[in-house]
Chains A and B, each alone.
Chain A
């Protein structure tokens, strides 16, 4: 299954001058397609549009279920934000996990703006100190923005982008200004 190959002789002077030591070997393992279907199999390099369409249909079918789940997650964020800002460690962890899930999934299911605000919130939390939580302004702003983006998907994209850029600047300067003293969340 494994092929051991000598060094290429086509690499030119550079390779000859800096040839690796003799006890270094480059090993080629055949592709999974070759192993499963035989060595004469030409692996499919082009995507099959029918498979892609089926995958996109699958995402659409999951969208409704995800929308319900996202609604519950946002409601839970609103519940958790107050104890999290007060210093409840478990609430902070659950709050971050919810935001992390939104960052990862909302965009896939058509809630791109929710995902972007969740991403911004995660980056803020990952670099936050206790004082940032206790102040709560930025965290609460993010929660409101996430809820608004979910409930009002038709909001002017220019306003959304302006808000996101403002948050980026705020978070960026905050992190840069205190980065050496902060710990990752």
Chain B
């Protein structure tokens, strides 16, 4: 067992592959800089949901961080397609998807949960909120439901927005 949590964190973060899906250049710059501060070196960036899907298929990241509102495809639709049963062998029920959104309303959080979002972070983003969410995403095992016609996170799970 590793006795040095700090070094273990560094090692873990160095090995992580993270995909950032974000249309704002300023927000992209902030997220990449913050992830690099955590020691993450494998970071891919896509500027909308469509390009995010392509990057996900090509790079198989460990974690996806996505904006909510983007065009032509938003983060909700991208998440739905990643989780979708119709994607067959490409459906991925367990990759953590962290959504960062300016919409903090309950209906937005519920909609995100229903598409398969793992964690919901509201803007403005703070360093500790992002750090906490990443640590939670890497530390927690994922439990999902597998039944005829459905393979994914429990649709009844609770999801609350993380606020900075």
Partner-B contacts on A (CB < 8 A): 20-21, 23-34, 36-37, 40-48, 50-52, 54-59, 61-62, 66, 69, 100-101, 103-108, 112, 115, 119, 122
Q: For the complex formed, measure the closest distance between the CB of B161 and the CB atoms of chain A, giving whole angstroms.
A: 14
Among A48, A112, A119, max chain B CB count under 10 A is at A48
Decide: A45 and B139 in contact? CB cutoff 8 A. yes
Most buried by A among B33, B125, B141: B141
- Interface positions, chain B 111-138, Cβ under 8 Å from A, are 123-128, 130-132, 135, 137-138
A65 to B: closest C-beta gap in Å: 8
- Which residue on chain B has the smallest CB distance to residue A108? B124
Question: Are A105's CB and B128's CB within 8 A?
Answer: no
Task: Tell me whether A50 and B124 are in contact (CB under 8 A).
Answer: no
Across the interface, do B123 and A105 meet the contact criterion of CB distance under 8 Å? yes
Give, as a whole number of angstroms, the nearest-CB distance from A158 to chain B: 22
B147 at interface, CB cutoff 8 A: yes
Contact B128 A62 (CB under 8 A): no
Number of residues on chain B facing chain A (CB within 8 A): 51
Q: Report how far A31 CA is from B140 CA in the complex, Å.
A: 5
Q: Choose the segment among B6-14, B50-58, B77-85 that binds chain A (4+ C-beta atoms closer than 8 Å).
A: B6-14
Given contacts A31-B138, A31-B139, A101-B24, contact A23 B147 (CB under 8 A): yes
Contacts A31-B139, A44-B139, A58-B34 given; indicate if A104 touches B27 (C-beta within 8 A): yes
17 additional A-B pairs beyond A33-B138, A42-B1, A47-B132, beta carbons within 8 Å, are A25-B146, A29-B144, A31-B142, A32-B96, A42-B5, A44-B5, A44-B8, A45-B135, A46-B5, A48-B9, A58-B33, A59-B30, A59-B34, A100-B24, A100-B102, A104-B24, A108-B126
Identify the 5 closest CB pairs spanning chains A and B, nearest first.
A107-B124, A43-B139, A55-B127, A104-B123, A24-B147
Q: With a CB–CB cut-off of 8 A, which chain A residues contact B130?
A: 55
Which residues of chain B in 1-38 are interfacial with respect to chain A, using CB atoms and an 8 Å cutoff? Answer: 1-2, 5-6, 8-9, 11-12, 15-16, 24, 26-27, 29-30, 33-34, 36-38
With contact pairs A29-B94, A36-B15, A42-B2 given, residues A24 and B126 touching in the complex (Cβ less than 8 Å): no
Q: Once the chains are docked, how many angstroms separate the CA of A40 from the CA of B37?
A: 27
Does B69 sit within 8 A of A, measured CB to CB?
yes
A41 pairs with B26, CB closer than 8 A: no
> Residue B45 at the A interface, CB < 8 A?
no
B59 to chain A: closest CB distance in Å?
Answer: 15
Q: With A25-B147, A101-B24 known to touch, is A115 a contact of B135 (CB < 8 Å)?
A: no
B97 within 8 A of A: no
Residue contacts A-B, CB under 8 angstroms, 26 given: A21-B147, A23-B148, A25-B145, A26-B145, A27-B146, A31-B141, A32-B16, A32-B139, A36-B12, A36-B15, A40-B1, A44-B135, A44-B139, A47-B131, A47-B135, A48-B6, A48-B9, A51-B37, A51-B39, A55-B37, A56-B127, A58-B36, A58-B127, A104-B100, A104-B124, A105-B123
